[in-house]
Structure 1
Amino acid sequence: MGKTRFYNLAVIGSFILVVLSSVAMAEDSLVLGMSTALTGPTAELGLRMRDGVMLGLERVNDAGGIQGRRVVLRAYDDGYEPQRVAQNLRRLVEDDQAVAIIGNVGTPTAIAALPIITSHGVPFVAPFTGAGLLRKTPPQRYVINFRASYVQEVTTMIRGLIEQGGIRPDEIAFFTQRDSYGDAGYVGGVTALQHYGLHDVRNILHVRYERNTLAVENALADLVYSPRNIRAVIMVGAYAPCAKFIRLAKDVGLKAVFLNVSFVGSELLLNELGEQGDGVIVTQVVPPLTGDGVPIVREYLADFKRFNQAGRPNHVGLEGYISTRLLQRALVQIEGRVTRELVVDALESLGSFDLGLGVALQLSPERHQACQQVWGTYFSHGQTVPFAWETLPKLLKAQRGTP
């Protein structure tokens, strides 16, 4: 009986030590949270964003962390489905005591997160979306964006198509995801087209597909059988359905240039398209990985190798890495206990600053989007390379097979 009692006490003692060890570890680290797609059709985007953030944290922790404390990431899977986000966010905010949420992937999932973000007063830093709902004026206190908006990306496309390519507004079609993400890109595109003389939105062909599916055939049929002379298709979707749409469109002989916003993940789209990718344009909200002389890209590539990250460097991972470096810049300014309110204050106090992107960034109480820049890339011979809009006429001729 005495031995049994001693054994039970030992087990209880071990359990208490484990609990105390976990508490001590939590107190010795700063926790960042992420709800993202780690499974499902959009998983590669979520995995790459997560890996980019973690690579940035490797650099932070290798340099001593924040106030001598390690910064750790807790990432939970939402499958790119809004209804799964609330549970993840409550776990991150209430149980894990995350000081900030970083790099959440997607517009509909970000919108689902906003009520919890607002009610708990937790910073929502650098979500992987360009939706206007996260870019209000005046800005929402707890939403801090890094990237340019979808409106800026699509406006850049339309400016290039019309001013450089000589394409009329009614020769541009939209292929979008049927949700808030697709709507954000389409509405931004229509607004831009109105500056170029569009008077009736019914003159613009808009075809759609359902989120987390590959059901693009009806959308393609609507485009192919349209009486309009479509010369460009602006795509606001995920990489797999966009790739399928492009392949099928080329198979049926559609002579148009295809343009994608950054959310598509250019490397993922290129992997899906293979040889059929040549000439496809993707706007980026980070510098091209081939950008010579861009310090943050050099550091990303060097850290990718130094910390032996799996896979290959990619634009989504680079965005996650830059987002972490942005948050780090604010965290190092906080003295004493790091609280969520102080994280927001520190981000807003950054003002105009340089992270090595080759363009100035700015955050303030009135501006919650750090970067305004959109870079152009396109696919050529199995590579993603920088694209200058001045060369668009040549690309359009190549797509139509004319000399």
Structure 2
Amino acid sequence: MSQETSNDIKLQAKNELIFGMSTALSGPAAELGKNMRLGIQIRLERENIAGGIAGRKIRLIAWDDGYEPERTIPNMRDLINQEDVLAVIGNVGTPTAISAIPIVNEEKTLLFAPYTGAGVLRKNPPDRYVINYRASYAEETSAMVNALIKEGGLKPDEIAFFTQRDSYGDAGYIGGITALKKHGLKLETDIVHSRYERNTLVVESALADILLADPLPKAIIIVGAYAPSAKFMKLARSAGLNSLFLNVSFVGSAPLAKELGSEMKRVIVTQVVPYPEDLSVPIVRAYHDDMKNYGSGRKTSFGSLEGYIAMEILIKAMHDVDGQPGRESIIDALENLREFEIGLGHKLFYDRKNHQASHKVWSTILRQGEFVPFDWKNIPSLLVP
């Protein structure tokens, strides 16, 4: 264990273990932040009832940044310097995470399990103060590309991209292009790539770019927020575009399904957590129990399950800390977990050189208004000749 800093000593003097969260609680990504917060909250509630960590209760302070980096910066500084949080957990979004990274590195405070798969949070060697749970966007888009080409028989130039015009959209696009190049794509310009502006619903020009493609793409990989992505897909169907739509996990399955309705078909979302209704998975059963007890009647979702898993990992690490957890000792405890299990059905891993616990990607498909498990082997039936 590393020597505790003066900040750690000050933090230990409190009666609570306080964690911070700067997330989207308003705007077009609000459901993602609310679900992530819910999952974290219900897991810490159970821990508190059981006595907390070394006799201290856990408290979460969640502040709204509206999915705007300009609002994340003061949130992060105030959470760390005024609220004296032990760590920041579950922030939502790539552009907001990018603004948070230099702050946590400067303040030597952990940013744990942010809801983003961007490569900027996955440096090699990793930043000490950035530790991820989820698979990367590159792993999600690679799973899509591999399925479309290997199982679906598509050629690389039969796949297009619709992405948000920022670091989040770019991260997904770059991951997809990298995968396509492994399957023979020569030039990026051979792929149609349309974009829209973050925190807007202005998708018409992006759709027009795709409709002008010749031939029309058979599959479109979407890297966006749920509201503009849903609008794009509905407008595309109205325009007669029959492409298969594939979304990365950040889109938010529950709000996306709500926006699309029960009539929309042939929409896939990759996931970084198990299906929230699969009670054969131990952690999903525990999640259901805690949702029932502490979730105030709210529905289960992929997003809240991800927050729940993040808090489960953090609690596991804190129980391994000698004495009261501090900012540095929590990081040491996470890195010392090495190979471990939390009931996901596969093993996770952390050490000093590996700051991403999971690399697994699940696939789901929209059926009658909700996303359910999907086997990539069935993808040929979804591709229009």
Q: Is the 8 A contact 2:11 2:326 kept in 1?
A: no
- Structure 1: distance between partners of 2:24 and 2:278: 29
Aligned partner of 1:298: which letter? R
Q: Does 1:365 align with 2:345?
A: no
Question: Aligned partners of 1:151 and 1:211: how far apart in 2?
Answer: 20
* Corresponding residue of 2:319: 332
Give the C-alpha shift of residue 25 in structure 1: 12
Give the equivalent residue in structure 2 for 1:11: none
- Is the CA contact (8 Å cut-off) linking 1:376 and 1:386 kept in structure 2? yes
Alignment-derived partner of residue 378 in structure 1: 365
> For structure 1, which runs of at least 5 residues remain unmatched after alignment?
1-22
Bigger shift: residues 26-35 or 350-359: 26-35
Q: Give the count of matched residue pairs.
A: 376
2:180 partner amino acid: L
| 1:110 paired residue number | 97
Equivalent residue, structure 1, for 2:115: 128
User: What amino acid is the match of 1:211?
Assistant: R
Gaps of 5+ in 2: 1-9
TM-score by length of 2: 0.95
Question: In structure 1, the residue corresponding to 2:261 is in which secondary structure?
Answer: helix
Match of 1:233 among 198, 202, 220: 220
Q: 1:378 to 1:366 in 2, by over 3 A?
A: same
SS at match of 1:170: helix
* Among candidates 269, 276, 281, match of residue 256 of structure 2: 269
Structure 2 residue identity aligned to 1:271? K
Which residue in the other structure is 2:204 paired with?
A: 217
Within the candidate set 163, 167, 172, 1:185 is matched to 172
Indicate yes or no: 2:120 matched with 1:142: no
Letter in 2 for 1:387: F
Q: Deviations over 1:217-254 (max 9, x none)?
A: 00000101111330000000000000000000001110
Matched with 1:389 is: 376
1:109–1:26: structure 2 CA closer, same or farther, 3 Å change rule? farther
Q: Look at both structures and tell me which one has the larger radius of gyration over its CA atoms.
A: 1
Taking every aligned residue pair, what percent have the same amino acid on both sides? Answer: 52
The question of whether the paired residues in 2 share the 8 Å contact of 1:170 and 1:228 is answered with no
| SS of structure 1 residue aligned to 2:270 | strand
TM-score, structure 1 length as denominator?
0.91
Quick one: which of 157, 169, 181 aligns to 1:194?
181
Q: Which amino acid aligns with 1:60?
A: E
Q: 1:32 to 1:165 in 2, by over 3 A?
A: same
Paired residue type of 2:19: L
CA distance in 1, matches of 2:214, 2:52: 60
Equivalent residues of 1:55, 1:309 under 8 A apart:
no
SS of the aligned residue for 2:321 comes to coil
SS at match of 1:275: coil
1:1-33 C-alpha deviation (Å, 9 max, x unpaired): xxxxxxxxxxxxxxxxxxxxxx99981100000
Q: 2:330 aligns with which of 343, 348, 353?
A: 343
Which structure exhibits the higher relative contact order, with contacts defined as CA atoms closer than 8 Å and separated by 6 or more residues?
2
Pair 1:155–1:24, CA change in 2 (3 A): closer
Match of 1:84 in 2: 71
Quick check: which one's helix share is greater? 1
Question: Could you tell me how far apart the structure 2 residues matched to 1:263 and 1:284 are?
Answer: 9
Q: For residues 367 and 325 of structure 2, what CA distance do their matches in structure 1 show?
A: 47
Task: Tell me the residue number matched to 1:56.
Answer: 43
Conservation of the 8 A alpha-carbon contact between 1:290 and 1:385? no
Q: CA RMSD in A?
A: 1.5
Tell whether the 8 Å contact from 2:196 to 2:203 is kept in structure 1 after alignment.
Answer: yes
SS of the equivalent of 1:80 reads coil
Pairwise CA distance, 1:115: 1.2
Q: Distance in 1 between matches of 2:216 and 2:295?
A: 49
Structure 1 residue 292: deviation in Å? 4.1
Distance in 2 separating the partners of 1:139 and 1:203: 34
Judge conservation of contact 1:29–1:69 (CA < 8 Å) in 2: yes
Deviation at 1:62, TM superposition (A): 1.6
Q: Give the secondary-structure state (helix, strand or coil) at the position aligned to 1:27.
A: coil
How far does residue 44 in structure 1 lie from its aligned partner after superposition?
A: 1.1
- Which of 265, 275, 280 is matched with 1:293 structurally? 280
The 2-side partners of 1:338 and 1:290 are apart by: 33
2:155 to 168, 182, 194: 168
What per-residue deviation string (whole Å, max 9, x for no partner) do you get for residues 67-126 of structure 1? 111000011111100011111011110111100100000000000001110011001100
